[in-house]
Structure 1
Amino acid sequence: MTGRENLWMRPERPARGPRPSFSRARLAEVAVQVADAEGLDAISMRRLAGELGAGTMSLYRYVSGKDDVIELMIDLVVGEYLPGETTLTGEWASDLRDLAWQARRTMLRHPWLAPLAASRQQASPTRLRLMETALGMLDGLGLGVDEMLTIVGGVFAYLNGFVQSELADAEALRRTGLTLQEWMTTQLPYIQSQIATGRYPMLLRMTTEGGRELVDADERFAYGLDRLLDGIAARLPRPGTPPVP
């Protein structure tokens, strides 16, 4: 995050000058389309101006540069995993689980998002709604705000780490043409040579017993997420415990 004034504190339309021909929302939509198709490196003010049929300098009436564009993109796409009020069950673990699953699906649709969502922290309209919604899922459980923030942060840390690993595997497949199983086959002779020294009993178990369960990415994500939520549930205050201030 830069030290500049928050983007959403700046008016979208300048007080003077010609009538705007598009909006920040349209700029964000086009930028997301480009990034989805070609990656974040394809985003430039000149490229976006061309996609919009506008002059490059005209974009600076809406944003100060590429960093602002990326903030608009994040705000737009994060909205895809905001749950509607009618989808919330009022059961904290179920709602938080559904939020994590929807966020994962969104990040896989937009591969550029996961590393940015984990690092860029500028407040934005959609991010504020997301935090309000996530904290609201934990309200009434006898937790203090700091505890609720830690829980939400832990769930999203797991989510971001898992998705970035998924995306790295997909990129390796694209780059090498090898599936994970095929790549592991190329590594097996060296691994076996080291196991033969007797110094790696757990690796021996891995090669002889592993690979039979949780092969599917959805299953692995669900397993880790459920264990995380189970651990949180086990540490919740007992009913009747006064709320933490």
Structure 2
Amino acid sequence: MPANDRPPLWLRPEHGTRGPKPAHTRHAVAVAGIKIADTEGLDAVSMRRIAAELGTGTTSLYRYVSKKDEILQLMGDEVVGELRGTVLPADWRDALRTIARLMRETALRHPWFPALASGRPNHGPNSLWWTELTLSPFDGLDLGTDELLANLGTLSSFVLGHVQSEMADQEAARLSGLSHEQWMDREGEYGPMIMGSGRYPRLTRVMVEAETPHAADRRDRWFEAGLERVLAGIAAHLP
């Protein structure tokens, strides 16, 4: 049966009824893919690489998945499984804070994960559990389903966007060989010309007065400040 004609991954039994019993599991396939992606990036994940990681032939992977897209689904669901055991606070604001912080921590642990999380929903068991959990803070708030989805989507977009900014800063440091402090010192040489030109009064004020860009915990500060503004926006639209 062609790969596109097969039932969705999560509707197929993990072990087929015909042929020899598989030597591995979907869990092992996912863990191998995560190991590769964490160290080399998502582009390095392939059927051949995972087979080599498992010590098996590439063709044997087709006992577990029909294409690479299904490997990515397994990987994404496995990462979400790291959050199992999460208990959310009763207050909806505190619950959403917890969700946002966990999403950020998970994405920073697995830098490739935001690209998957930003795409189509994953319907694996861990992902379904997480979706159900993230919907629960809105219980009793008299929200329509579209409003509920808009709130969660706004929160998720903020977290994933912030994480991508953090990772871009880390990548810039790697490529340039300059720490944030070294880069700020070097750019500071350009400061007097910017401020002295008189053309950028708003930017000049930021350059003179802003403290957060120089703080060691600037990423945490920006994340928490942005998160509070997202929560304020959600609160403003509640019935």
TM-score higher than 0.5 here? yes
Identify the residue that residue 65 of structure 1 maps to in structure 2.
Answer: 67
The reply on whether 1:35 has 2:42 as its aligned counterpart is no
Identify the residue that residue 105 of structure 1 maps to in structure 2.
Answer: 105
The reply on whether 1:138 has 2:138 as its aligned counterpart is yes
Cα distance, 1:170 vs. partner? 1.2
Q: How big is the alpha-carbon RMSD for the aligned residues of Structure 1 and Structure 2?
A: 2.2
Using structure 1 for the length normalisation, give the TM-score.
0.87
Q: Which moved more, 1:114-123 or 1:203-212?
A: 114-123
Indicate if the aligned counterparts of 2:77 and 2:122 stay in contact, CA closer than 8 A.
no
Separation in structure 1 between the aligned mates of residue 18 and residue 10 of structure 2, nearest angstrom: 19
1:36-90 CA-partner distances (Å, limit 9, x unpaired): 1222222121111111111110001111222211111001102223553xx2222
Q: How does 1:79-90 map to 2 (within 5 A)?
A: 79-82=81-84, 84=86, 87-90=87-90
Separation in structure 2 between the aligned mates of residue 83 and residue 147 of structure 1, nearest angstrom: 27
Question: Mind listing any 5+ residue stretches in structure 1 that lack a counterpart?
Answer: 238-245
CA shift in 2, pair 1:167/1:228, >3 Å:
same
Q: How does 1:140-179 map to 2 (within 5 A)?
A: 140-179=140-179
Separation in structure 2 between the aligned mates of residue 108 and residue 70 of structure 1, nearest angstrom: 18
Separation in structure 2 between the aligned mates of residue 65 and residue 230 of structure 1, nearest angstrom: 43
Indicate if the aligned counterparts of 2:76 and 2:122 stay in contact, CA closer than 8 A.
no
Cα distance, 1:184 vs. partner? 3.1
Separation in structure 2 between the aligned mates of residue 212 and residue 28 of structure 1, nearest angstrom: 39
Separation in structure 2 between the aligned mates of residue 214 and residue 193 of structure 1, nearest angstrom: 20
* Percent of aligned pairs with the same amino acid: 46
1:3-29 CA-partner distances (Å, limit 9, x unpaired): 775321233222311111111111101
Separation in structure 1 between the aligned mates of residue 83 and residue 96 of structure 2, nearest angstrom: 11
Question: Mind listing any 5+ residue stretches in structure 2 that lack a counterpart?
Answer: none
Using structure 2 for the length normalisation, give the TM-score.
0.89
Separation in structure 2 between the aligned mates of residue 40 and residue 190 of structure 1, nearest angstrom: 37
Identify the residue that residue 53 of structure 1 maps to in structure 2.
Answer: 55
Give the total of aligned pairs: 234
CA shift in 2, pair 1:192/1:83, >3 Å:
farther
CA shift in 2, pair 1:52/1:167, >3 Å:
same
Indicate if the aligned counterparts of 2:47 and 2:68 stay in contact, CA closer than 8 A.
yes
